Amino acid sequence: MNSYDVIIIGSGFGGSMAAKPLVDAGMKVLMLERGDWVKRSVEENWGPKGSIDLSPFYDKSSLLHVPVGGNKPTMGLYSCVGGPSAFYGGVSFRFREADFEKNEQIEGKDAQGWPITYDDLESYYTQAEGILNISGETDIDPTEPRRSAPLPQHAPALANISQKVKSSAQKLGLHPFQLPLAINYEDTSRQTCLSCKTCDTFACAVSAKNDLATILIPQLTANGMELQHNMVVTRLNVLNRRIVSIECVSKTSKQSYTFKADKFILAAGALGTPHILLSSGLQHYNPGGDVVGRYLMRHLNAIIFGIFPGVADKEGRFHKQLAILDYYFGHPQAPGFNKLGSLQQMPTPPASVVENELKGVLGKVLSPAVKLLSGLLAIVEDQPQYNNALTIDAAFSDEFGLPRVVINHSYSDRDNAAMKILTEEGKKIMKGAGALTHYIHNIRTFSHAVGTVRMGLNEKTSALDEHCHFRGIDNLYVTDGSVMPTSAALNPSLTIAANALRVGEFITRLN
């Protein structure tokens, strides 16, 4: 049985970024990943089955049962080397300083905020932006937090449709700016972005997206990290308040494996991590174990699609380029809200995605009309609620012996009221950009899921301390989105990355 200094479960932002300081320090690290490598080719990635929910990387081997809140009664997991980064749109925001502070409107009367501050993460944000080679604009957005270094890449030229959206927003007195994106525009030593129309929810066929499977994991394995993919973790074994071993099953051979390490990092995602913790019974060792699986957040998301009189994007290029955060901390005409959310540009959707959303004849009839659409994504910070939860049902198990996952999630009245304000503003912007009318598409996926093993100073109401150490187990840490006490109203990936770098560095100092 092989033994390691650290075993990391999951290869997404939480796992890969936590691994970097450990590997750099010369530690013996094993990374276990449930999914496979995503092959990169025009046929594989740009074809009609390239979008993640249509691909083999939408893993249905451990189905999520979602009685309340899903887009389907049963849903799959996103599972591949690099985690969801292989299929994300590259948006890489820093949370704002106030996102880390307690806010009774969001958290309720017992608000505690985060156990760390923006300043605790700032240098790690800078590191993460460097690793991911982020492009974008600074000094435009009124909510922009303090930064100690510029973004590594300049923003690319705007598409014509993006310029129309920008002009419309500016006429309304807003401050549109270019999204921070993990996409290669300037490094000519490798393939640069082709501005293709298959980016968000698609893996990059030419590896111009700076996803973790492209720019970090190969570097980690070259420097000594061992990666075992297609490996499903089924149990963490405890003795004397320590994890002593980890049990796994190979998805391909069905063979069982056991590994040992001095320390363990769980980074299987905000759904996968509580599933493993609950299946292993680890919540019983933790004074805050009652919160494991609870306070699930995923943002309240909706796309305001403008319907244009002709082809919206006449250039036929990817145009997820702009963000508008003027209403992030409220709206002049809604004084009861001290936080609302963000607006981010969304490109014309591929016809194959529409056909998947609208099954049968309706999808085939409407999919050619997608060329008339371009939109804005409204992201509202959803309230952390105890009853929004992932639980397990031991009466049913999957092919690996893991108990069934059951998820129930509902948005609060405040979430919905905030979305109504934000979508009305989005409609105005799209109308000014030339849209004749609009269509609101509600999103019910768990792509931004966070919060199920949250960190905090109060050991009764949080499972992790400020170093993301799992209370009650001496050698277990968590570094994915599940650690977040609140969701902010921005894409979580860069904050997961920065925090994972912070925790990984902390673990190196324990040796």
CA distance 146 to 504: 23
Q: Which two tokens stand for residue 403?
A: 């108990």
Residue 52: per-residue pLDDT: 85
Residue 181 bridge partners (DSSP)? 91, 135
The distance from CA 318 to its chain's CA centroid, rounded to whole angstroms, is 20
**Whole-Å CA distances, 308 to 51, 171, 321, 351:** 24, 19, 19, 16
Reported as half-sphere exposure (CB side, CA atoms, 13 A), residue 190 has a value of 13
Give the three-state DSSP class for 501. Answer: helix
Distant-in-sequence, close-in-space partners of 335: CB < 8 Å, separation ≥ 6 = none
Q: Which two tokens stand for residue 249?
A: 């099953």
Give the CA angle between residues 201, 446, 316 to the nearest 5°.
20
Distant-in-sequence, close-in-space partners of 250: CB < 8 Å, separation ≥ 6 = 230, 231, 232, 256, 257
Residue 248 bridge partners (DSSP)? 233, 257
Q: What is the pLDDT of residues 282-335, one digit of tens each?
A: 999 999 999 999 999 999 999 999 999 998 888 888 899 999 999 999 999 999
Residue 376 bridge partners (DSSP)? 304, 345
Residue by residue, pLDDT tens for the chain (511 residues) are: 578 999 999 999 999 999 999 999 999 999 999 999 999 988 788 877 888 888 899 999 999 999 999 889 999 999 999 999 999 999 999 999 999 999 999 999 988 999 999 999 999 999 999 999 999 999 999 999 999 999 999 999 999 999 999 999 999 999 999 999 999 999 999 999 898 888 888 999 899 999 999 999 999 999 999 999 999 999 999 999 999 999 999 999 999 999 999 999 999 999 999 999 999 999 999 999 999 999 999 999 999 999 999 988 888 888 999 999 999 999 999 999 999 999 999 987 776 666 666 555 545 555 667 888 999 999 999 999 999 999 999 999 999 999 999 999 999 999 999 999 999 999 999 999 999 999 899 999 999 999 999 999 999 999 999 999 999 999 999 999 999 999 999 999 999 999 999 999 999 999 6
**Total length of the chain:** 511
Which uninterrupted H or E stretch holds 242? Answer: strand 242-250
Q: What DSSP designation does 146 have? A: P
DSSP letters spanning 51-98 = SGGGSTTEEEEEEEEEEES-SSSEEEEE-BTTGGGGTS--B-PPPPGG
Give the three-state DSSP class for 180. Answer: coil
CA distance 165 to 433: 5
Report which of 306, 443, 334 is spatially closest to residue 378, judged by C-alpha positions: 443
Tell me the Ramachandran region of residue 318: left when phi exceeds 0, alpha when psi lies from -120 to 50, beta otherwise.
Answer: beta
Residue labelled with tokens 């069982």? 256
CA distance 208 to 454: 34
Q: With 0-12 CB in 10 A as exposed, 13-18 as middle and 19+ as buried, what is 66? A: buried
Residue labelled with tokens 């948005």? 411
Report which of 136, 176, 157, 181 is spatially closest to residue 432, judged by C-alpha positions: 176
Residue labelled with tokens 């420097």? 223
Give me the sheet containing 373-380, strands edge to edge.
Answer: 177-178, 322-324, 341-346, 373-380, 300-307, 437-443
Distant-in-sequence, close-in-space partners of 390: CB < 8 Å, separation ≥ 6 = 271, 274, 275, 278, 293, 294, 296, 405, 406, 407, 452
* List of E strands, 349-475: 373-380, 389-397, 403-408, 437-443
Residue 362: per-residue pLDDT: 47
Three-state SS letters, 87-109? CCCCECCCCCHHHHCCCHHHHCC
CB atoms near residue 254 (< 10 Å): 10
Question: What's the alpha-carbon Rg for the chain, to the nearest Å?
Answer: 22
Backbone angles phi, psi at 250, to 5 degrees: -75, 130
Residue 353: per-residue pLDDT: 64
Q: Which two tokens stand for residue 73?
A: 């009664």
Q: With 0-12 CB in 10 A as exposed, 13-18 as middle and 19+ as buried, what is 238? A: buried
Cβ atoms of residues 24 and 510 within 8 Å: no
CB atoms near residue 442 (< 10 Å): 10
**Whole-Å CA distances, 288 to 16, 28, 458, 464, 475:** 27, 31, 8, 8, 17
Residue 316 identity? G
Residue 183 bridge partners (DSSP)? 209
DSSP letters spanning 279-307 = HTTGGGGSTTGGGTT-S-B--EEEEEEEE
**Pairing state between β 256-266 and 476-478:** parallel
Query: Computed from CA positions of residues 499, 500, 501, 507, in that sequence, does the dihedral angle turn out positive or negative?
Result: positive
